[in-house]
Chain A
Amino acid sequence: MSKPFVDIRHAAKKFGELEVLHDISMQIGKGEIVAIIGPSGSGKSTLLRAINDLDPLSSGEVWLEDMQVNKALPPRQYEKHINQVRQDIGMVFQHFNLFPHLTVRGNITLAPKMLKGISDAEANALAEEQLKRVGLLERIDYYPSQLSGGQKQRVAIARALAMKPKVMLFDEATSALDPELVEEVNQVMKQLAEEHMTMIIVTHEMGFAESVCDRVVFMDGGYVVEEGPPEVLFRNPSHERTRNFLRKHLQGQS
C-alpha cells in the first residue's frame, strides 16, 4: 500500500480500569473502503470514535494524511485544531442525530455556513447538490420528524458530505432501520464507494461488507484478531474466533 491516508498507531483506550482497545494499529489508503466487524462490545465504535477524537485515546496516535488528529496541544489550541480536523472527517451515526429543530436544508447548511463562511446562496446550492446525491432533493424543506428512517440517514450522510470530508466514518448506519429501509442507505454508500470516497464502516451486515469493502477487519475483545480482503476473511478465515463469530452471525441472519 502507498502512504496511508488514515493511520492509527498503537491505539489504546481505557474506560477507567476497563481496557477497551489494546494497541491497535491500522492503515487505510486513500479511497480504500474498510469494514470493521466483530461482536458487541469488541470496541468497534470506540475505535471509530477515536479517529475524530470523539472518544480520545488513552495512548497512541491517529493521523489523517500529514496531520496528527490527536496531537498534544494546550487545551485552547487543541480545541481549534480538532474543530478544524473534524471538518475533514465525516461521521454517520446509528441514530442519525439529525437536528430536529431544523429543516433538512438547515441541517445541511448549518455547519458550512458557520464554519466555512459561505453565503446563503452558496449554502443552498451546496444543500441541493448533496441532496441530489442521496436522492432526496424534494425533501429539502421537510423536518426530520417528517422523514422515514432511511431518509433520515440519507440526509445525515448528505449533511456530512456537505463539509467535503476526506474520509467518512459510519457507525452501524443501518442497524436502527427497518429491514426494508436498509437498502436505500446501502445504495448511497455504494455510490460513495464508486466515487472512491475513503470510508471506514462499522457494520454487522456481512453481505454489504463483502460486496462493497476492499478490506474487512475483525475485532474481538479490543484486539484486531484478523484482517484481509472480504473473500478471504469471510470464506477462509484463519482464526478460530473469526470462524466462530461468522458462524454465529450467519446463523443469526438466516
Chain B
Amino acid sequence: MDFDLILRVYPFFLEAAWVTIQLSVYSIALGLACGALGAAARLSRSKPARAAGAVYVSVIRGTPALIQLFILYFGGPQIGIQLDAFEAGVIGLGVNIGAYMTETMRGAIIAVDKGQGEAARTLGMSRAQAMRKVILPQAARLMIRPLGVNINAQIKGTALVAAISVVELTYTAQRYIGSTYKPFEMFFLAGVIYLVIIYATGLGISYLDRKAALR
C-alpha cells in the first residue's frame, strides 16, 4: 500500500467528502419530506391520495435508483427540466429514499396501539388532533431506528451520482485512479471516509433513539 500517495491526495478526498455530506444531508431532508407526505397520502381517507402514495412507492422501489437518476439528469432536458448534476443528484436521491421512508413512517404510525387513537377520540379529539398529539409522538420514537437504516442506505447511495459526474467521493476516487493507476489505495481511502461518515451518523441515530426511549 502506497501511504505516501494517500497522504498526498487525502485533502482532495476530504473536499469530495464534503460534497458527499452535502448530498446526503440535502437528499435525506428531501427524503424525509417526501416520506412524510407519502405516509400521509398512504394513510389518508381519500382514495386518490392513497392510490397516489401507493404508485409513488411501487414505482420508485420497483426501478433502479440509477435509472431514476439517468431519467432525471439525461432525460430531464428533453421534457424541459434543466438541472445541474448536483441538483439532479439531490432530487433524484431524495425522491428515491422518500419512497422507502414513506413505508418506514407508515409502518411506525400503524404500529402504535389502536387503543391510543381510540382513547383520544373518546375524549373528543378530532382525527387530526389525535394524530398530532397522541399517535405521532409515539410513532416518532418507533421510527428513529428504521429511519436510521434508510439514512445509512442513502449515504452509501450517494456514490451513485458519480455516474452523472457529481464530484463526490466515489467520482473523485475514480478520477485519481486515472492519474495514479492505484485503484486499491484510492478506493480504500474513499471507503475509509465513507465508514467514518456512516459510523458518526450511526452514533447520532443511537443517541436520538436512546434519548427518545428515556421518555
Contacts and interface: CB of A to CB of B under 8 A. Distances in A.
Interface of A: 52, 54, 79, 83-84, 86-87, 89-91, 93, 95, 97-101, 110-111, 114-115, 143, 145, 156, 159-160, 163
B24 interface: no
A101 B137 CA distance: 7
Given A95-B115, A97-B116, A99-B116, A115 B124 contact: yes
Interface in B92-137: 113, 115-116, 118-127, 129, 133-134, 137
B215 interface: yes
B215 A111 contact: no
B58 to A, nearest CB: 29
A100 B138 contact: yes
A7 B183 CA distance: 81
A79 to B, nearest CB: 6
A199 to B, nearest CB: 15
B141 A111 contact: no
A87 B124 CA distance: 5
A interface majority secondary structure: mixed
A111 B115 contact: no
Contacts of B115: 93, 95, 97
A98 B134 CA distance: 10
The 4 closest A-B pairs by CB, nearest first: A97-B119, A87-B124, A111-B123, A97-B115
A143 B215 contact: yes
A54 B119 CA distance: 10
A86 B122 contact: yes
B123 A86 contact: yes
A45 B110 CA distance: 23
A160 B123 contact: yes
Nearest to B134: A99
A110 B125 CA distance: 10
A52 B119 CA distance: 11
B118 A97 contact: yes
B122 A54 contact: yes
Contacts of B123: 86-87, 110-111, 115, 159-160, 163
Nearest to B115: A97
Given A83-B126, A97-B118, 6 more contacts: A79-B127, A93-B115, A101-B215, A111-B124, A145-B215, A160-B122
Contacts of A145: 215
27 contacts: A52-B122, A54-B118, A54-B121, A83-B125, A86-B121, A86-B122, A89-B122, A91-B122, A93-B118, A95-B115, A97-B119, A98-B119, A99-B116, A99-B120, A99-B138, A100-B138, A101-B137, A101-B138, A101-B141, A110-B123, A111-B120, A111-B123, A111-B125, A114-B125, A115-B124, A159-B123, A163-B124
Contacts of A89: 122
B205 to A, nearest CB: 19
A160 B121 CA distance: 12
A52 B127 CA distance: 15
A87 B120 CA distance: 11
A251 to B, nearest CB: 32
A111 B125 CA distance: 7
A200 B80 CA distance: 66
Nearest to B129: A114
Nearest to A85: B124
Contacts of A110: 123, 133-134
